[in-house]
């Protein structure tokens, strides 16, 4: 799963036969044997979640348990705003932040930090003996640390009461359908579902199965089909501009089908277990401006960044420069969250420039035109082009190669390179057809059926 989250895909994925057999057994026990006992269902969910997460690397479970236990106790010690002095509550919140961000920072960014310090020292003429630092990145660590931090932050703000049932809290933290690839759930939304009795409903079960199958189709048929062709261009020593443009379009299709496919599987499997996870993608390539894109793409994460970083930094409440500063801070962190690489940082910076630039330019565009049919029709393909340019930054791992791509002659290349670009473009159109048909069915057919 390339670039869809903070880490690579899970060692046991939703589309492997091991998971299918595991989930089939869980469903049978969950509903047939434990259907009358919420406690037994929760015990089963936690046990299966730890098996799933620690399938290849059991020590990953220690990190998950550390984050969960830390924030459960911090939330309990914090209590309600009127129960503890504000200073003590701040220290407890800082403890939660330090524990989670410290763990995340070490496993995800320690190697990146060491490499860059060594490079700076070398550039300054100093001898830098770079230590060998091979840190395995635990899958999903960015997801569950953000999820547990939101629990303590909401308690600190007085928006959530601390829980005393550790088992139910652990279901919220470790729920395996969304543990390693999202969506990033909030305690205020998922915990009430964990604390309520689940009743088997055939309609929910079959709709969840259909959603999971559609997600698997997007992942295996769409994303996995186009990925090798796009990857071949990005490892090519001297691709033409047309080849890079076609490969970028292919990657735009791949990452949407891959990430939204995993999310659909997560939401579908959760629905079969009696849970409703938050919608994470809302046709992001139909966005009409940069802000609209982030309201549609990875919604659970972008809303997390908005509520816990952008707004506290000043958001849209302060001056224009405060808003711009909050935007750059939020988007730079968003880029770095996706991976320890300067190209991810550059991708976040690129989207920050897009958002602030659009805010400035849009003041000169009449609202009637922007909101009208013609304006929106023109805005969608233009925004898609800007989004694809961002995906080129996201996909390329070396800044020097990225600069090289951008300096290639637009109409350059041999006849063979143009042929390769044309074939890849045709592949993009072919694999996009199921997504387009699915969109048309959702927008034109389903509303009439429901009516």
How many angstroms separate the Cα of 386 from the Cα of each of 51, 248, 363, 411?
A: 41, 12, 19, 20
The DSSP string of 49-96 is HHHHHTSS-TTHHHHHHHHHHHHHHHHHHH--TTTS-HHHHHHHHHHH
**Omega prior to 183 cis, within 30 of 0:** yes
- Backbone φ and ψ of 327, nearest 5°: -65, -45
Q: How far apart are CA 139 and CA 142, in angstroms?
A: 8
Tokens at 283, concatenated: 């046709």
Q: How far apart are CA 291 and CA 270, in angstroms?
A: 29
How many angstroms separate the Cα of 375 from the Cα of each of 23, 34, 73, 369, 382?
A: 47, 55, 52, 5, 11
Residues 6+ apart with CB under 8 A from 263: 181, 182, 183, 215, 280, 281
Residues 6+ apart with CB under 8 A from 110: 133, 135
Q: Is 338 a catalytic residue?
A: yes
Residue 321, exposed/middle/buried by CB under 10 A (0-12, 13-18, 19+)?
exposed
Reduced to 3 DSSP states, what percent helix, strand and coil does the chain have, rounded to the nearest 5? Answer: 70, 0, 30
Which of the following is catalytic: 324, 338, 404, 448?
Answer: 338
Which of 280, 222, 241, 244 is closest to 435 using CA atoms?
222
- Backbone φ and ψ of 216, nearest 5°: -65, -40
Helix (H) or strand (E) holding 302: helix 299-305
Q: How far apart are CA 113 and CA 119, in angstroms?
A: 10
Exposure class string for 165-187: b at 16+ Cβ within 10 A, else e: eeebbbbbbbbbbbbbbbbbbbb
Residues noted as catalytic: 338
């Amino acid at each position: 799963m390339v670039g869809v989250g903070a880490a690579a895909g899970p060692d046991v994925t939703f589309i492997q036969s091991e998971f299918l057999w595991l989930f089939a057994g869980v469903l049978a026990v969950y509903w047939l044997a434990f259907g009358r006992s919420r406690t037994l269902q929760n015990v089963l969910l936690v046990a299966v979640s730890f098996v799933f997460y620690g399938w290849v690397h059991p020590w990953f479970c220690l990190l998950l348990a550390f984050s969960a236990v830390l924030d459960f106790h911090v939330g309990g010690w914090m209590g309600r705003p009127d129960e503890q002095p504000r200073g003590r509550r701040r220290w407890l919140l800082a403890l939660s932040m330090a524990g989670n961000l410290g763990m995340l920072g070490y496993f995800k960014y320690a190697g990146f930090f060491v490499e860059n310090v060594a490079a700076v020292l070398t550039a300054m003429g100093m001898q830098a003996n770079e230590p060998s630092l091979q840190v395995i990145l635990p899958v999903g660590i960015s997801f569950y640390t953000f999820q547990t931090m939101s629990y303590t932050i909401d308690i600190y703000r007085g928006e959530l009461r601390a829980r005393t049932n550790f088992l139910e809290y652990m279901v919220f933290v470790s729920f395996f359908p969304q543990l390693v690839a999202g969506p990033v759930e909030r305690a205020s939304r998922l915990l009430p579902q964990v604390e309520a009795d689940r009743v088997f409903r055939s309609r929910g079960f079959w709709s969840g199965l259909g959603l999971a199958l559609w997600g698997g189709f997007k992942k295996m048929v769409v994303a996995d089909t186009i990925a090798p062709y796009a990857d071949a261009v990005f490892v090519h020593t001297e691709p033409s501009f047309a080849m890079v443009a076609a490969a970028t379009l292919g990657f735009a299709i791949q990452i949407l089908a891959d990430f939204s496919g995993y999310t659909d599987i997560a939401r579908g499997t959760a629905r079969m277990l009696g849970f409703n996870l938050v919608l994470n993608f809302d046709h992001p390539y139909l966005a009409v401006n940069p802000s609209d894109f982030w309201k549609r793409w990875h919604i659970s994460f972008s809303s997390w960044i908005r509520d816990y970083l952008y707004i506290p930094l000043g958001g849209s409440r302060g001056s224009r420069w405060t808003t711009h500063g909050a935007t750059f801070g939020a988007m730079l962190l968003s880029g770095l969250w996706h991976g320890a690489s300067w190209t991810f940082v550059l991708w976040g910076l690129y989207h920050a420039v897009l958002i602030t630039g659009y805010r400035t330019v849009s003041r000169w565009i009449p609202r009637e035109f922007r909101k009208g049919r013609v304006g929106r029709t023109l805005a969608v393909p233009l925004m898609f082009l800007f989004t694809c340019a961002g995906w080129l930054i996201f996909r390329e791992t070396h800044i020097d190669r990225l600069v090289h791509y951008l300096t290639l002659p637009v109409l350059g290349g041999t006849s063979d390179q143009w042929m390769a670009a044309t074939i890849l473009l045709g592949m993009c159109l072919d694999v996009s057809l199921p997504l387009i048909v699915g969109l048309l069915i959702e927008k034109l057919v389903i509303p009439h059926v429901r009516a």
